[in-house]
Amino acid sequence: MRNKNVLITGGLGFIGSNLARRLVKDGAKVTIVDSLIPEYGGNPHNLHDVKDQMEINITDVRDSISMDQFIPDQDFLFNLAGQTSHLDSMENPFTDLDINAKAQLSILEACRKHNPDIRIVFASTRQIYGKPQYLPVDEKHPWHPVDINGVNKMAGEWYHIVYNDVYGISASVLRLTNTYGPRMRIKDARQTFLGIWIRSLLEGKPIQVFGDGRQRRDYNHVDDVVDALLLAATRSEAKGKIFNLGAPDPLSLEDTAKLMCDQIEGANYEKIPFPEDRKAIDIGDFVCDYQAFQSTFGWKPKVNFREGISKSIEYFRKNLDYYI
């Protein structure tokens, strides 16, 4: 990526900021766009120590006139800006539509008009599959979004594939599972429940596990996701394709809570009944099949969950004030 011009939407967010840090280390010329909407993942602290090594713009991807300025001359676009909260998407479906679908279309239109040679990677979500009909869930699994966020992310990813197929604008889609690590949002559960669990741990409160805690989940450390994003951006086999990410060591929610409590002396968890609004969109066990991505690119998760969560807790312990 040395000397490449790279645009990251949502670059002050969790995954975007970790990617940006990697890219400047690799010698790329990084431009960040982030709206810093308080409910989303953007956080100036995520890049405070490296901000002089990149261009940071506080702009909303829905502002197509601004976005038009950033697209030309970029070699790569990591399209990570998004509304990620399932509950927010049900409460404000039009906001979710504007960010996760319409803004994506307007970014792609800008690429078509001003920079058709750009290489795009779009971050999508395993939420598109809905409640699994079988495990692990591969890319052929039927799609059945269970909330408005899933529908709009599905539209967002398919705009990318259509622009790839029809206009030849190279675009790839990664469907991410629960991603965790330093710089994630821990204020609440808007990114993943792991965020609010880390906050609870550090504030000495019990972790709240919904239901019986037996639902299994898979977790990717952000460093592994950054590796995957870079592979998707630079390997031609990824063009026009949609791939799952995932991890080899799924855990039940209760085992996840236990493992996290092991990290802190005296920490504990409690099981509570599913809140009504969560119940309607819960999907039971979910484990992603990432064999397609693994076999095509040789990618596999390097960071073991216990080690990754331990380092993440360490990060947030030192930086807690900036994240709550």
- Residue located via tokens 């960040």: 32
CA–CA gap between residue 145 and residue 162 (Å, rounded): 20
In sequence order, what are the beta bridge partners of 252? 216
Choice between 155 and 264, CB closer to a copy of itself: 155
State which residue, 109 or 255, has the beta carbon closest to a copy of itself. 109
Residue 88 sits in the site that holds a copy of itself (CB under 8 A): no
Report 128-147 residues binding a copy of itself (CB under 8 A).
140, 142-147
Distance, CA of 168 to CA of 177 (rounded, Å): 28
Residues whose CB is less than 8 angstroms from the CB of residue 167 and which lie 6 or more positions away in sequence, other chains included: 112, 116
Q: Least separation, in Å, of the C-beta of 289 and a copy of itself?
A: 15
| Rounded Cα–Cα distance for residues 112 and 108 (Å) | 6
Q: Would you count residue 87 as binding a copy of itself (CB under 8 A)?
A: no
Q: Is 249 exposed, middle or buried (0-12, 13-18, 19+ CB in 10 A)?
A: exposed
Residue 105 near a copy of itself by CB under 8 A = yes
- Write the binding mask 150 to 179 for a copy of itself: x where contact by CB under 8 A, - elsewhere: xxx-xx--xx-xx--xx-------------
Q: 179 — phi, psi (to 5°)? A: -110, 140
2 lines the binding site for a copy of itself (CB under 8 A) = no
Binding status of residue 79 toward a copy of itself by CB under 8 A: no
Q: How far is the CB of 238 from a copy of itself (least distance, A)?
A: 17
Question: Rg of the chain over CA atoms, in angstroms?
Answer: 19
Task: For a copy of itself, give the closer residue by CB, 232 or 281.
Answer: 281
Q: Which residues contact a copy of itself (rule: CB under 8 A)?
A: 90, 93-94, 97, 101-102, 105-106, 109, 140, 142-148, 150-152, 154-155, 158-159, 161-162, 165-166, 280-281
